[in-house]
Structure 1
Amino acid sequence: MATTQTQRLGIFLALALVMAATRVHLSLFHHDVWDASWGIFFLAGFWLRGSVRWAFPLLMAEAVLVDYLVISNQGINFWDHYCVSAAYWFLVPSYFSLWMGGSWLARQKAGLNLRSLGLAAVAVVASFAVCYVISNGSFYWLSSSVPQPRSVAAWFSNLGDWYLFFLQTMALYVALGLVVHALVVQLGRTLNHADPSKLSR
């Protein structure tokens, strides 16, 4: 959605800062602040969809780096942590599905109306569902942290345990981002339609 490279860099840095600040919540905030990563990747796809070649890899690298630093700071070998296994690398397609959800929403070029709200809801729920199934499914079926025996029924039960929590968390951050977007768009319209003679007084 950003039109200039300066705007894109500014948005990227803001998103990266929010993700870093909330992704380290395990050690800094004691779970008082929810991880914004899923919302960040969706909003990045929405605002930076034309910059996927550099913005997505950098955000992905940041996520891995933050995880590494947080885990290492706990005195644990990165590869021995509960959350790290072969499934960890499935975060790439998981997060990319969120990016694509935001990118799809941006391509709709909807205005500030109920239709836009509906499209945003569809994009959030659909991309979240894909991300959640990939990340949760890969962890359940590939991680040694999940006790044997595994079954499809147990996996579906596990999916349901965390579905609403992760959806609510992502929706909260996306909603905050879209509110900021709407305010910026409205401010831009107001300034563009302002009477220059009044502004010069």
Structure 2
Amino acid sequence: MATTQSQRLGIFSVLALVMAATRLHHFDAIPDASWGVFFLAGFWLRGSARWAFPLLMAEAVLVDFFAITSQGLSFWSHYCVSPGYWFLLPSYFALWLGGSWLARHQAGLRPATLGMAAIALLVSEAACYLLSNGSFYWLSPTTAAARSLDGWFANLGDWYLPFLGTTALYVGIGAVLHVLLTLLARSADGSRTRLAG
């Protein structure tokens, strides 16, 4: 949605900072904003996927590497870094695509856009969750002994709503900021027009 390169870089910087600050302490009081960040980046940085998505993805892996190794643990043998870890790439890209789709089809600050945002978020977040959770469950050596379809569905049920709630919270904060900044920009444009006339 940003029109200039400096706006895009500014938005990217803020999103990267939010992800780094929250992902580093994944299970602390402030939940990880990564999923919301990728959705919002797809919306605000649509058309910049060639540079913004890989940089956000690299940041996510670097933050994970730092968080794991700073505890004195090996990144490559950590519980979370299974073969399924690499499915975060298509998982996060699903969120990016959801945000990008919304940016392309949204109707401005109208109620219809809110409905489209809810649909885009639900579909892309569900795809992300199925890819990330499914790949971890089915490919991780940690779950090998207990793998079953019933076990996977139980695992999906345990974690889906918390992940959806956290993602929706961050996307909601982003939506409120978007609306406020859009209204502020319109007000400033109106003031300039009146002064010029």
TM-score by length of 2: 0.96
Residue of structure 2 in register with 1:2 after alignment: 2
CA distance in 2, matches of 1:154, 1:197: 64
Residue of structure 2 in register with 1:139 after alignment: 136
CA distance in 2, matches of 1:134, 1:72: 25
Residue of structure 1 in register with 2:177 after alignment: 180
What secondary structure is seen at the aligned counterpart in 2 of 1:50? Answer: coil
Letter of the 1:60 counterpart: M
Is 1:190 aligned to residue 187 of structure 2?
yes
Matches within 5 A, 1:68-87: 68-87=65-84
Q: Find the partner of 1:54 among 51, 55, 58.
A: 51
Does the 8 Å CA contact 2:2/2:44 hold for their aligned counterparts? yes
Does the 8 Å CA contact 2:41/2:99 hold for their aligned counterparts? yes
Residue of structure 2 in register with 1:37 after alignment: 34
CA distance in 1, matches of 2:166, 2:89: 19
Residue of structure 2 in register with 1:95 after alignment: 92
Is 1:116 aligned to residue 100 of structure 2?
no
Letter of the 2:23 counterpart: R
- 1:113 Cα shift? 2.0
- 1:112 Cα shift? 1.3
CA distance in 2, matches of 1:196, 1:8: 26
Letter of the 2:4 counterpart: T
- 1:25 Cα shift? 1.1
What secondary structure is seen at the aligned counterpart in 1 of 2:47? Answer: helix
- 1:145 Cα shift? 1.2
Does the 8 Å CA contact 2:38/2:93 hold for their aligned counterparts? yes
CA distance in 1, matches of 2:149, 2:30: 32
CA distance in 2, matches of 1:157, 1:180: 36
CA distance in 2, matches of 1:84, 1:196: 55
Note closer, same or farther for the CA distance 1:197–1:159 as it changes in structure 2 (3 Å cut). closer
Q: Find the partner of 2:159 among 159, 162, 166.
A: 162
What are the Cα deviations for residues 66-90 of structure 1, in whole angstroms up to 9, with x where unaligned? 0000100000000111101110000
TM-score by length of 1: 0.94
Superposition RMSD in Å: 1.5
Residue of structure 1 in register with 2:22 after alignment: 22
What are the Cα deviations for residues 78-112 of structure 1, in whole angstroms up to 9, with x where unaligned? 01111011100000000000000000000013121
Letter of the 1:174 counterpart: V
What secondary structure is seen at the aligned counterpart in 1 of 2:30? Answer: coil
Letter of the 1:162 counterpart: W
What secondary structure is seen at the aligned counterpart in 1 of 2:142? Answer: coil
What are the Cα deviations for residues 26-56 of structure 1, in whole angstroms up to 9, with x where unaligned? 4xxx611100000000000000011000000
Letter of the 2:190 counterpart: H
